[in-house]
Amino acid sequence: MTTWNSIDKATHARKRRAMNHPFSDMALFSSEPFIHSNIDRWIELLKEDIGEKQWPFSLHMARWADRLVFDTLGDLCFGESFGMKEHDSELRHIPAIIMDFTSTIHPRAQIEDEVQARCKSGTESRMGFFHYLFLDLDLDISESESLIIAGSETSPITLAAAFFYLTRYPHAQEKLAKELKAAFSSVDGIKGGGALHSSQYLRAFIQETMRMSPPVPADLAPDGQQGGIVVDGRYIPEGMKVSTVSYCMHHKPDMYPEPFDFRPER
């Protein structure tokens, strides 16, 4: 049982508090080198794939984004990249549906024992997700699996959509590049901190990307409030769920004028 599928409120609250440690500022900061190394290698492979191709040419950026995120999550959650982004990786030839199945039959007990032994022995110097997930007695390897499942679809979708809007809207690309070049003197200097948090157009660009192309198709269904609520003139009894699909809500003209236009400035 994990944070994501625990329906008992007390159990969920306890696990959620434990999950705060992997997502603390310290844990996220210590995870940055591993994120950067995966991105750097990904860019190298992209350049190799492009090679001497003449413009115009196309790349399936959704697949490239999927490989990057999957490898990065493996590095953060298990301490080692899966290597899916590598050109000779056998994983990239496995259809997604088969990948979902095979992920359930790995030698789970062996992996869990090895990971916990590394952490407790002090030989594991990493202090990111990987460290906190396996040292906390209230968490286990299932949480890492859940993080990979949760992030291996949503993050690549958002990343692929961002690439699409960057190429489709040159003015947004130019404005974003100008902001980042002013905030950072080099690529190596791009990291969490005040400069990144102050990059307002970057945040606006990401938010507009997720508004236009929400990565989660499921509706948002909170529990009904105590005593019931009234929605659009209709009484909804306590315990009933009321939800709306995020795509529909994010494309309502009365909430977002000209909702199908990509405008981070909004």
HEC-encoded secondary structure of the chain: CCCCCCCCHHHHHHHHHHHCCCCCHHHHHHHHHHHHHHHHHHHHHHHHHHCCCCCCCCCCHHHHHHHHHHHHHHHHHHCCCCCCCCCCCCHHHCCHHHHHHHCCCCCHHHHHHHHHHHHHHCCCCCCCHHHHHHHCCCCCHHHHHHHHHHHHHHHHHHHHHHHHHHHHCHHHHHHHHHHHHHHCCCHHHCCCCHHHHCCHHHHHHHHHHHHHCCCCCCEECCCCCCCCEEECCEEECCCCCCCEEHHHHHCCCCCCCCCCCCCCCC
Structure-block tokens of residue 26:
């310290």
Mean pLDDT of the chain: 79
Q: Is the pLDDT of residue 170 over 90?
A: yes
Q: How many residues belong to the chain?
A: 266
| pLDDT tens per residue, range 180-204 | 999 999 888 888 888 998 999 999 9
More confident: 152 or 250: 250
Residues 262 and 169 sit within 8 Å (Cβ to Cβ): yes
**Listed range (82-86, 149-153, 219-223, 255-259) with the worst mean pLDDT:** 219-223
Q: Work out the end-to-end distance of the chain between its first and last CA atoms, rounded to an integer number of angstroms.
A: 41
pLDDT in tens, 130-160: 666 665 555 556 666 677 777 777 888 999 9
Percentage of the residues of the chain whose pLDDT score is greater than 70: 73
Evaluate whether 67 touches 85 at the Cβ level (below 8 Å): yes
pLDDT tier, 128 (very low <50, low <70, confident <90, very high otherwise): low
pLDDT > 90? residue 227:
no
Asked whether the predicted pLDDT for residue 39 surpasses 90, the reply is yes
**Mean local confidence (pLDDT), 7-15:** 79
pLDDT given for residue 124 in this prediction: 52
Residue listed under structure tokens 């909702």: 259
pLDDT at 116: 59
- Global pTM reads 0.77
- Domain assignments of the chain as residue spans, ordered by start: 1-168
- d(C-alpha 165, C-alpha 161), whole Å: 6
Contact 201, 175 (CB under 8 A): yes
- 48-62, 153-167, 244-258: the lowest-pLDDT one: 48-62
Quick one: pLDDT band at residue 127, thresholds 50, 70, 90?
A: low
92 pLDDT above the threshold of 60: yes
The CATH architecture annotation of domain 1-168 reads: Orthogonal Bundle (1.10)
Which range, of 21-25, 96-100, 258-262, averages the lowest pLDDT?
96-100
Q: Comparing C-alpha atoms, which of 204, 118, 121 is closest to residue 130?
A: 118
